[in-house]
Structures are given as C-alpha cells and as structure tokens.
Structure 1
Amino acid sequence: MDKPVLYIVIPCYNEQEVLPITSGLFLQKIRDLAAAGKISGDSRVLFVNDGSRDDTWQIIQRLAEEDEHFEGVSLSRNRGHQNALLGGLMTAKDRCDVTISIDCDGQDDIDAMDAMIDAYLDGCEVVYGVRSKRATDTFFKRFTAEGFYHLMNWLGAGIVFNHADYRLMSSRVLDEFANYKEVNIFLRGMVPLVGFKSTSVYYERAERIAGESHYPLKKMLALAFDGITSLSVKPIRMITGLGVVVSVLSFIGVLWAIIAALSGHAVAGWASTVCMVCFMGGVQLLCLGVIGEYIGKIYMETKARPRYIISEHTWDGAEK
C-alpha cells in the first residue's frame, strides 16, 4: 500500500504574528510523519488566506518560496472561518489522500495528528480531534461552550461534544462532502452527516502562542446561531408548541373575563392589561425573529452564491 499524501489545511485571518512561529511546527510534523513512514514525502501544508488585512498572504507566499512543502491559496475577500476552511478542503481533496484541518494559532495539539494518522491507517475515514478538558478557558467560556454542545445535541444536531474543526477527513469523504451545496455552513455539524467509519482522538488545548483571538463573543454567538438554524428545525417546532400553550392560556383567560363580567365581579385595572399586552408582544416578536432567521437562510440558499472565490495561489499553472 502506498503511503498516503497528507494535506494539513489551515485557514488564516490576520495571523502575521503567529504564522511565522506555527508554520515551522506544521512543517516539522510533516517531516516527522514522513520519516516514521506514515505519510508520503509529497505531503503539504496548505494555508488559506481569508482576506487578511495584514501581511498574512505575503508571509504565506514567502514560506511557499522557501520550502516546497508549503502551499497557499488566497480568497478574493474575507468569507469567514467556515468558508475559508471549506475552500481549503475542496482545493486539497484532489491533490491528496487525506486532510487534517487545524487552526493557525497553535492551540490545538499538533502531536495528536500522529494518532489521527494511525486511526486512518487502521481504516477510519474521519477522525475528530476532541478536547479532553477546558482548563485554559475562563468559566464563562467553558460554561457557554459546553452549554452550546448540549443544546445542539438536544435540538437533534448530532455534533461531537467538545470538537471544533480539528479533524482528519479522507479524500473519499471529501468527495462525498462536496455534494453538500448549502450556503450556510457549519462544518462540525455537517461532517457527521456524511457518515463513514469514524473515531475520536483526545488532546489538551493550550494557550494561543501569539497574537489575539479573532473569535470574540459576538462571532461565537453568530456561529452558534448559524449552527442551530442550519442543522435543526426544532426551534420552529418549539414556537408551534409555545403558540399552542399561549393560545390555551389566552382562551382560559377569555373565559375567566367573560364569567367575571357576567357575575358582576369585573374590576377595571390597567396593570393586568399592560402585563398581558407586553407578554404577548414579546412572545410574538421572539417568534417572528426566529422564523425570520429561517426565512433569511432560505433566501440566501435560493441565491446559491459561491461560498468562496480563490483569487490567488502559490503554485505555478492555472490549476486551482
């Protein structure tokens, strides 16, 4: 059996501070795996520049010039982490046997790739990198992150607990994954839908090596909401259930008001009226907001716009 060609796919956005450090770590891992006879010497590190506004793309170009094991593609504009990662995976799928996606910041344990490759050689087509604990997170981040995973699974989206986007995928899986055409993507929830034999590798996540995180609370909340609305219709069903409950309560309230009026015990008051109006108005606005989010997703899907556009690459020729 020929040694598999591995592509390590790394999305980058404004990573000029950390890229010169972690690039050497990724290159050394390629060399170590090749020296151990687990992968081919033709394996590569593929950086995806997600419309960075600093010198990230210039650094990637320089790395590619200095060592053939580095390659890079640049998106025409910033498309977000998920689209950038998808662009890298789709670029790599016809150039390799297996990919490992990982972030550029050095927080994910690079040495876990050894166990991932071992699992692949044993027949697994997908290997999830799963955090064994969240000791480096603040209480708030740990509480909200784990709560999100529990919520997603409760809503019916079968995502892997404490798994982000550190994973191995074979080219066979990527070929099938290319058939998933939705515009609103949430990879950690979509990959399990493809199926095939899979397993998990556990590791401890470290602190960011350099630079600052590009995923503030606002972006994390947006990603979480995208994941929920892209993978589950349960919120719509919950709204239906809430509507039934509120309707029943409202019907009971109407009966009570009629009986009170007929019996002469009705008392004029504005407090109860204001409370009821505010409550119903809040429920209606919330429901309209959730329904509107789904309609917005449908609107974007019907447009079928490209999820990413590659404007440049580091290798010669016209291939992209």
Structure 2
Amino acid sequence: MTKPPLTLYLAAPRGFCAGVDRAIKIVEMALAKWGAPVFVRHEIVHNKFVVDSLRDKGAVFVEDLSDCPDDRPVIFSAHGVPKSVPAAAAARKMVYVDATCPLVSKVHIEAQRHFDNGLQVIMIGHAGHPETEGTMGQLPPGEVLLVETPADVAEVEVRDPARLAFVTQTTLSVDDTAEIVAALQARFPAIVGPHKEDICYATTNRQEAVKAMAPKCDAMLVVGAPNSSNSKRLVEVGARAGCAYAQLVQRSADIDWRSLEGITSIGITAGASAPEVLINEVIDAFKDRYDVTVDIVETAVENVEFKVPRVLREPA
C-alpha cells in the first residue's frame, strides 16, 4: 500500500538548551563522584523521560529538602530555589550542588540588585512555577509582586510607583511578555527594566523557529512535558502564528492520529527540556505512516555552553 506524502517541517533550534544540558550533566557527574543515591530537589528539568532515566541511575527526586538525609548530596533543579533552601542545607552541613540555569541566576542577581537599590520588584511569571517561586524567594516577603497578565498590572498595589523595577521568568512567551511590559510602563513610567531581556536565548529562538514554521503547516506538534512552561508557550505561539492544529505530546504514543487525517504537512519542534531521542521517536512514527520529506526550518544556530560547578570537576 502506498503511503501518502507528507512534508515534515523540523524546527531548528529545538529541544535541549545549554541550561538543561548542564543540569542533567550535574546529576550524572554527582552520581559518578559520590555514588547512588543522590537526592534532587524537584524534577531536575521538566521531562518525565529524562527524570525516569536519571532515577534509574540512582537519583532520588523529592519536593522538599526535609525529605533528604543529611549524609547524602542534594542537587537543586535548573529552575532555581529560594534563598532559604541553600541556607537550610548549609545549616544541616549537607553537600549540595546548585544546578540553577545561569540565565535564571542572572535574574536572581538582578532582583537582588534592585532590592539593594531600594526598589520594589514586580515579577512577570506564572504563579506556582518553581522558577517564579525561586526568583521571588531571593528577596524578603512583599518585596517581589507577581503579575501574570496585563489585567494584573491594573490591580497590583505597590509601595511607591516611582521606586519600581521588573524582572521576568525566563520561559515566557516573548509576545505576551511584551504586552505586560507595555502595561507596566504605561502605569509606572519610572519602572526600571533589565539591562538585557530576561527571557532566555533558547526560549526566544525556539519561539522564532515556530513562528517561521507555523504558516507552512497543516498541523504542529511540540514534544514536551505538560508541566514545562517553555513547551506550552511553543504550542500557543504556533497557534497564534497561523497553525490551525498545535498540540503538545510527551512522546509518539500521545499523537492523536485521527485529528491528523488528511494533512499534507506537519511541523515538529520540542521544548528546551525534551531530548532528541523523543523527537526522533515522533519523526519515526510519521515515517511509519507517511512518505516523509523532511524540511529543516532554521532560524538560529546555538553554540552556548555552561560549565558545571567546580565541586564536580574536582576529584572525590
């Protein structure tokens, strides 16, 4: 039986970013240095396949430092943690390694600098997301106010409209964030922004590739986890950029084939915490059903690399 033809547009860049790569490497190097078990506070990155793979190697994932014994190393996830967490680990004389993405740490440093300069900080982010909680937890209670939408800007109660700064979560939609920033600047003309945009290069690059790809596609799939902020934003960006059907899938088993009946083109991308093996699995599933022609949609080339902490580069 002849397979129907399908053009598969593959976004580049896609998948792992430098911060995710570094975080996974930190867990693997910690296991090699100290042996199992190594404890990890929160999922190291938001991807079940990655977390399960590390669990199989001896990583133990917990949600709270109180779930960790004093005598085993603990790693803080790529999303960052409130200042109280390393302080508590130090008080217990624990060995700990901070896998916070350096671009998230940059936002933490910005927030601290604003606070030291006497400014109250407004954070653009998603309530309950570990990165948001980690950034807000850098400063004393009440010093960071959270807004999620332009409507929130109208409601936020500040101490002094003339003494404000804003920071953002690194994995937001570039376009949505621009709307919120505009609302903040309209209401608080004196508000101080970041020297360089907080949304990270990888989030921006993946969204730009989706914008370039979406108008060409009958449908688009984003490989990523349902708790991954940057993956969910890619789905939204794809839909907004003109793709009628944009969906998140964790792996090939999640593809809804009935919804894709009659398509002649599909766009494939992946969130920053999705490994290439899962992307290839999705591509292979299409090759099983279609006569696939792959067309790479490249909008940027990434060559960023972050060093792992010195403690892991030193012998045990």
- TM normalised by structure 2 equals 0.25
- TM normalised by structure 1 equals 0.25
Which structure: greater helix fraction?
A: 1
Q: Which has the larger radius of gyration?
A: 1
Which structure exhibits the higher relative contact order, with contacts defined as CA atoms closer than 8 Å and separated by 6 or more residues?
Answer: 2
